[in-house]
Chains A and B, each alone.
Chain A
């Protein structure tokens, strides 16, 4: 479903990703861990098509198509979703307006008709209930004045409504209290299916207790330096990243 092949990427003149490869099969959940500044969010930005990140080498194939040639909105309509590490606030634009426009854009691309107001409201009610969110969120401006945890929950709400085929979650667990973490994990797990995949970026094993990954990768200095099963996350939790210093990157 997703093939990242030897991707080199830079922001401005700073090289950040230095030959990153990763293969994600349909229905799989891959966790990506790694120290601060190792390039995790940069990878997410490469996938979503952020204009600040330039890919200088390599390919990203999504269903066999090179998505680096697609605009960010085309990628989204093709079923890619990024839950941002730092979701922006958009004053004056209500959550429900964004959800409706986004959903209709994605539906139109799939050839589905626009949802009418009643069906839309029904859908949104169901999803906010699933995520334990108050209805009043819908009329508020996107992320404006939201607490850190509320912003993350809002990202998952959008993902629930857009039903992407590839979800990239960038530290969606950070800033969440224990209960919120469970709710968010529930929101993600409810979407898991044989044809939907996730890349879950996190620093903490505790998220992976709830969203159980098929694979865990360690990203360091722009490359995946170790991959393993879910037990790798436990090992990292215990040992930290000091061992990275002891062996040459890429070993």
Chain B
């Protein structure tokens, strides 16, 4: 039995959205189908393999309303989000709607296009079609369906062929609510054309009281010889619900470097799925989740090695305090033609309290014979001798603890290539540790 999902609320909301929008016919139809499928299937229970660590009941019980565009906050009001920490171009969405005032695309280099999806759909709907349809092709997924039915805006980023973007491009979604139970469904499309180089930072932030739900879907294409660094930072706070999915397709000799940082949430789930479809593609997947209180983060990754001579490297680390729970599933599928695959996967967890729980589940499915695959997982605690050593140098217990946690996390953060981005991540990690991760 799936979990029922307050269908009346969703259907009403869907009805109003349909009235407000002037979508092309293909999109209206796509939305109808997705809505139908979502209502029919409901949400999976923890008996579903892919959802065994995450109970969606609390989310299903809510009556989420569409988040509305707000009168633009003065730039200063978004302090604390370190929006200025990165000097490059940025595009900002508030409650899922494009915010021209907080957006600054001045520094956008020649050959790089960044635009709100809403605008692209208005101006060149046909060009968007295949990108939008892709998500549905990936299978009947409840949250993908929900996103398809409800997405209003998002971003399209295209790094032109052979273009090297010198500064990271920042995409920020800020939920700013005064009322409870609002939802946004951003849709992102990233295209790295052949032989391009770029860093894209995708951020989810929140401001003000109230519970909220973000249901984001990102589609990434890394074309031949392109190199894309893609950072995903999620930190809407402990009362938020977050479901995100990132689907990546990698062409010949492309390189994709992904780091997912989750700083908590009531329920926070991210699915990362990679398709290595041409030889010579390589990916590096990093993850860091830091939780306290009763927070819950579930990282679910799948890498499909479909062709020979591809490499994947994955390292996820969890720092779990309070009564939090952090789950990791790493599925690695080496298809039968994918000879000479090299892949490694590791998940390490640091428990800061006796009540925190780490779940780790490697799933290796290897159908080719000439491959190199390694995986490992650990769950441990802070090392007493290390803590004593630091305290014997004058560091308070808190400072010693934070330094050790930072040391644990640094193995992931060090993989971030862009200096500014790495510094930003270190700063948000630090401010997270000073809150309630005990």
Number of interface residues of A (CB under 8 A): 30
- Determine whether B82 belongs to the interface, using a CB cutoff of 8 Å to chain A: no
Alpha-carbon separation in the docked complex, A101 to B393 (Å): 9
**Which of B384, B392, B408, B411: most chain A CB closer than 10 A?**
B392
Q: Contact between B392 and A91 (Cβ–Cβ < 8 Å)?
A: no
Shortest distance from the beta carbon of B287 to any chain A beta carbon, whole Å: 16
Query: A105 near B396 (CB under 8 angstroms)?
Result: yes
Stretch of B159-167, B301-309, B399-407 lying at the A interface: B399-407
A238 CB → nearest B CB, Å? 35
Name which of A77, A87, A101, A106 has the most chain B CB atoms within 10 A of its CB: A101
Interface residues of A in 111-129 (CB under 8 A from B): none
B37 proximal to A (CB < 8 A): no
Q: In the complex, how many angstroms separate the beta carbon of B256 from the nearest chain A beta carbon?
A: 25
Contact A76 B393 (CB under 8 A): yes
Identify which of residues 374-402 in chain B touch chain A, using a CB-to-CB cut-off of 8 Å.
383-386, 388-397, 399-400
Instruction: Decide yes or no: A87 and B400 within 8 Å by CB, A93-B406, A102-B395 being known contacts.
Output: no
Considering the complex, give the chain A residue whose CB is closest to the CB of B412: A92
Contact with B along A84-115 (1 / 0, CB 8 A): 10011011110001100110011001000000
* Cross-chain contact A90 with B393 (CB below 8 angstroms): no
Q: Chain A residues near B388: list those with CB within 8 A.
A: 50-51, 72
Q: In the complex, are the beta carbons of A141 and B391 less than 8 A apart?
A: no
Question: Which residues of chain B come closer than 8 Å to A109, judged between CB atoms?
Answer: 394
Residues of chain B within 8 A of A50, CB atoms compared: 388
Contact indicator per residue, chain A 117-157, by CB within 8 Å of chain B (1) or not (0): 00000000000000000000000011000000000000000
Contact B394 A88 (CB under 8 A): no
Query: Chain A 59-96 against B: per-residue CB contact (8 Å), 1 yes, 0 no?
Result: 00000000000011101110001101001101111000
Contact of A72 among B392, B399, B411 (CB under 8 A): B392
Whether B403 pairs with A98 at a CB distance below 8 angstroms is yes
Which B-chain residue is minimally distant from A91 (CB atoms)? B407
B397 closest partner in A (C-beta): A73
* Shortest Cβ distance from A158 into B: residue: B393
A49 to B384, alpha carbons, bound, how many Å?
A: 13
| A-side contacts of B400, CB under 8 Å | 73
Query: Are the CB atoms of A101 and B407 closer together than 8 Å?
Result: no
State whether A90 and B396 are in contact (beta carbons under 8 Å apart), knowing that A51-B384, A72-B388 are contacts in the complex. no
| Cα distance, A162 to B409, chains bound together (Å) | 27
Pair B410/A92 contact, Cβ less than 8 Å: yes
Q: In the assembly, what is the distance between CA of A142 and CA of B386, in Å?
A: 10
A75 partner residues in chain B, CB cutoff 8 A? 392
Report the bound CA distance from A75 to B391 in whole Å.
9
Contact A76:B394 (CB < 8 A) given known A84-B389, A90-B404, A101-B399: yes
Task: Write out the residue numbers on chain B whose beta carbons fall within 8 Å of the beta carbon of A88.
Answer: 383, 385-386, 389
A182 to B98, CA, bound (A): 67
B394 in contact with A106 (CB, 8 Å): yes
Bound-state Cα–Cα, A7 to B386, Å: 26
Sample of 7 A–B contacts (CB below 8 Å): A51-B384, A73-B394, A88-B386, A90-B404, A101-B399, A102-B395, A158-B393
Chain A residues with CB under 8 Å of chain B are 48-51, 71-73, 75-77, 81-82, 84, 87-88, 90-93, 97-98, 101-102, 105-106, 109, 141-142, 158, 162
